[in-house]
Structure 1
Amino acid sequence: MPLFGAPGERIGYELYSHPDGAPPLVLIHGFTASKASFEVNLAGLREHFTVVSVELLGHGDSEAPEDPVFYRPERAVRRILQLLEHLGYGRALFCGHSLGGALALRLALEAPEWVAGLIVINSSSAAGDPQWRDAARPSMSEMAARVRAEGTGFMKKTRLYPAHSRRLDPLSRELLTRDFDRLAPAGVAGTADSLVVDVNAWERHPTLSVPFLLIVGERDADFAPNADAFLSRFPPDLARVIRLPEAGHAANIEQPRQFEEAVTGFAREIAYLRAPAAQGSMVLTALGGALVFGGLGLLAAALFFTGGNDSDGGTIAAAPETTRIATQSPVAQVAGTSASGQPTRPSVVGGTAVAPSPAATTPNASPSAAATATPAPTRAATVAPTQSAPATAAPQPTATPTDVPSPTAVPTASGPFAALSGPSTAAVGEAITVYAQSGGGNVLRTDIKLPTGQALTHQAGASYTSTAPGCYIFSATVYFADGKTLTATHAVSVGGVLCSGGQG
């Protein structure tokens, strides 16, 4: 397995390429596990994605430094973003199990511009409230101290040890047990001390700005009863849930085909993958509710493979053209291009995305996926779920999404901005997908207006199918917390009709 990062804190990863260059799906395992957590899912997921399986510091083939500071959430987030940049990806779909889900959520909150969508599987490190943190921290500190003093042998008598699970398939149990047996005490202790609890971002849940799918193994008695309350903390138009009734904590292993269908269905819903002509994926539903988190039961769900109640046995589209910005105050252009004409990406320096110098944009062909506004993005906007539009006599937006391997524009280094991207031309009857980009301030909301005049609120991306030749004008309005409102427009020539005067 290749290693990436600075010496002493390198992380292991595997890149499973797709013959057609499908967009990336990043998989992150849980506490004391490894990339083997997703071994049974690889074949199914690789049919649709380029899969990147990442191992946390102190796990699998990753290095295990002694100093707990290396395991801090901000450092874990930075390593993954630097790895993505190293691999050449500007944006990805993230999926994490248990502790890995909490880290994926933390990454989505801190760097939404990198996240096309977020999938979390049974994660109490993500779901716990401040009371959970207060209760869990002493337990984790005690575990870390004991591991440093005695090694990991005593942990083989707990539910953490995968060899005890009767819910895992033989291959997963064998691989996960092998990787558990080679865990370095420093890695387990550092993760317990600095990541399991500290990765929790309960106070920031309402600020999530990327599409979110929660996958719940209903037989995980520690997590499942609290799933509704957890999901209700997020913006309802972004949050979805899939429940797997025969699965426990390791839901992706216990019901692998259903899990894979949920992932690909979600990716199509948010326009990260193109939907098939006849789609039969599982229904994704938004959840509300108000349950109360409680006790250390959630801590168990954050860690254990066996969980509670364990007594029973696509084609990729080219990047879109980025248009100029229409604003209410002077704002610099946002899209940088390389000498080859391809969009540039910022560098990740110390965990901060640094935008390159702005440059003129170079048009590219064909539409890209929809995007959603982010609270304070540092790079480009992210993918949002497609919402059905109200009835109107005019042509309607379609639900036909398109695959996108990476974002196509980079914001300016400073100052609020808004931009709208999409193809410059289209054929009659062809779906036109546009998406907004924004940043340089705390973004509250992004709305898209279709050529019919229909407004899609809290949407930073939309698709529309023309029925006749013409010049079709889309607009995006971005609302910032300081009261500033910026508007960008994009014109698409359909059927060869000239858009006189351009866009403005």
Structure 2
Amino acid sequence: MKYVINGVRYHVDTWGTGFPLLLLHGFTGNSEGWKEFAPFWKDHSKTIALDIIGHGDSESPPDIGHYQIEESAAVINSLLEKMGIGKIDVLGYSMGGRLALTFAVKYPEKVRMLILESASPGLRTEKERHDRRIQDTKLSKRIRQEGINNFIDYWEDIPLFQSQKSLPEKIRTRIRSERLANSIDGLANSLNGMGTGAQPSWWDELVQLEMPVLLITGELDQKFCRIAEEMSKILPNVQWKSIEDAGHAIHVEKPELFGTIVSGFLSQTEEINTKAAKIEE
């Protein structure tokens, strides 16, 4: 389905029945990557897979303002209003995890529960954010100068994704096809507008998030394991799962385990809510 919000067209796929679950992909990804989890979640969740601005079949406008992460969180809020949804579960991976967390910080009353895969609250200091913005600007220029194919060659070879090199060729080919389907403007503007350097730090806001939160990281991804460990000490209602023999993209490297963990977390919370409702009666 297509939704137009603030003059920008967004693509959304939905499937399954139950409590709504919003799925947010990572940088260079799209909503297609979530479809293999339909068998795991379709019986308890109505999944809503969004192509984030600049990705997939959503538009890639030239105005950087549309790509700001807080603006994208406001777009999600408008999307839920258009769909008649008052409260939702949110699952985000990497860039999509940062967007999911931003939405939870800005609209906590809209989030029943939050699942963050290899995600970060951002960089703590302005110096760190400034330095990261310089890096992201260089990357965005590289995309424009060298084109999508050369950039994806580079992107697939960074240390963050080394563990994916051992995946079957069929899976690696599918992921590469999804990445190559994006546009130069969309990826370049996403780095400048929604990159880690452009995002505000949400570290101080974590303590205010009262909804159940599940953090999922891969043991081979030491950077994001450290971040998750720090987050788990601050978030009031948190579980953290560290997955053996997995890197940054657990849902790609260990899909069956990932699907089962997420399903178990959602079902567990459903049971808790059901018991609480009975007690109130």
User: Shorter-chain TM-score: which interval?
Assistant: 0.7 to 0.9
Q: 1:80 aligns with which of 76, 83, 100?
A: 76
1:206 to 2:207 alignment: yes
Residues of 1 paired with 2:87 and 2:97: CA distance? 17
Question: For residue 187 of structure 2, what is the amino acid of its counterpart?
Answer: V
SS of structure 1 residue aligned to 2:48: strand
SS of structure 1 residue aligned to 2:165: coil
- Aligned equivalent of 1:382: none
Q: 1:113 aligns with which of 109, 121, 124?
A: 109
CA gap 1:264/1:132 in 2 versus in 1, 3 angstroms: farther
CA gap 1:127/1:167 in 2 versus in 1, 3 angstroms: farther
In the superposition, the TM-score normalised over structure 1's length comes to 0.51
CA drift of 1:134 comes to 3.2
CA gap 1:38/1:168 in 2 versus in 1, 3 angstroms: farther
- Map 1:254-293 onto structure 2 (within 5 A): 254-270=253-269, 273-274=270-271
Q: 1:402-457: per-residue Cα shift (whole Å, max 9, x none)? A: 3xxxxxxxxxxxxxxxxxxxxxxxxxxxx5x34xxxxxxxxxxxxxxxxxxxxxxx
Q: Which has the higher contact order (CA 8 A, sep 6+)?
A: 2
Given that 2:60 and 2:185 are in contact with CA atoms closer than 8 Å, whether structure 1 keeps it comes out as: yes
Given that 2:16 and 2:44 are in contact with CA atoms closer than 8 Å, whether structure 1 keeps it comes out as: no
- Aligned equivalent of 2:219: 218
1:25 to 2:21 alignment: yes
CA drift of 1:192 comes to 0.5
Q: 1:441-500: per-residue Cα shift (whole Å, max 9, x none)? A: xxxxxxxxxxxxxxxxxxxxxx53xxxxxxxxx6xxxxxxxxxxxxxxxxx4xxxxxxxx
In the superposition, the TM-score normalised over structure 2's length comes to 0.88
- Aligned equivalent of 1:330: none
What fraction of aligned residue pairs are identical, expressed as a percent?
27
Runs in 1 of length 4+ with deviation above 4 angstroms?
161-164, 167-172
SS of structure 1 residue aligned to 2:222: coil
SS of structure 2 residue aligned to 1:26: strand
CA drift of 1:257 comes to 2.2
CA gap 1:196/1:167 in 2 versus in 1, 3 angstroms: farther
SS of structure 2 residue aligned to 1:155: helix
CA gap 1:245/1:255 in 2 versus in 1, 3 angstroms: same
- Aligned equivalent of 1:128: 123
Residues of 1 paired with 2:108 and 2:168: CA distance? 35
CA drift of 1:65 comes to 0.6
SS of structure 1 residue aligned to 2:89: strand
- Aligned equivalent of 1:239: 238
Residues of 1 paired with 2:91 and 2:3: CA distance? 20
Question: For residue 28 of structure 2, what is the amino acid of its counterpart?
Answer: T
Residues of 1 paired with 2:128 and 2:32: CA distance? 28
SS of structure 2 residue aligned to 1:152: helix
- Aligned equivalent of 1:188: 187
When Rg is computed on C-alpha atoms for both structures, the one with the higher figure is 1
Question: For residue 217 of structure 2, what is the amino acid of its counterpart?
Answer: V
Q: 1:12-67: per-residue Cα shift (whole Å, max 9, x none)? A: 1101032xxx1111110011111133233222121321111111101011100111
Residues of 2 paired with 1:161 and 1:42: CA distance? 29
CA gap 1:167/1:193 in 2 versus in 1, 3 angstroms: same
Which runs of 5 or more residues in structure 1 are unaligned?
A: 275-398, 403-430, 435-462, 465-473, 475-491, 493-504
CA drift of 1:171 comes to 5.2
SS of structure 1 residue aligned to 2:8: coil
Q: Alpha carbon RMSD of aligned pairs, Å?
A: 2.4
Question: For residue 102 of structure 2, what is the amino acid of its counterpart?
Answer: R
Given that 1:39 and 1:172 are in contact with CA atoms closer than 8 Å, whether structure 2 keeps it comes out as: no
- Map 1:85-484 onto structure 2 (within 5 A): 85-124=81-120, 126-130=121-125, 132-160=128-156, 165-168=164-167, 170=169, 172-197=171-196, 198-200=198-200, 201-235=202-236, 238-270=237-269, 273-274=270-271, 399=272, 401-402=273-274, 433-434=276-277, 464=279
- Aligned equivalent of 1:53: 49
Question: For residue 256 of structure 2, what is the amino acid of its counterpart?
Answer: R
Q: 1:320-348: per-residue Cα shift (whole Å, max 9, x none)? A: xxxxxxxxxxxxxxxxxxxxxxxxxxxxx
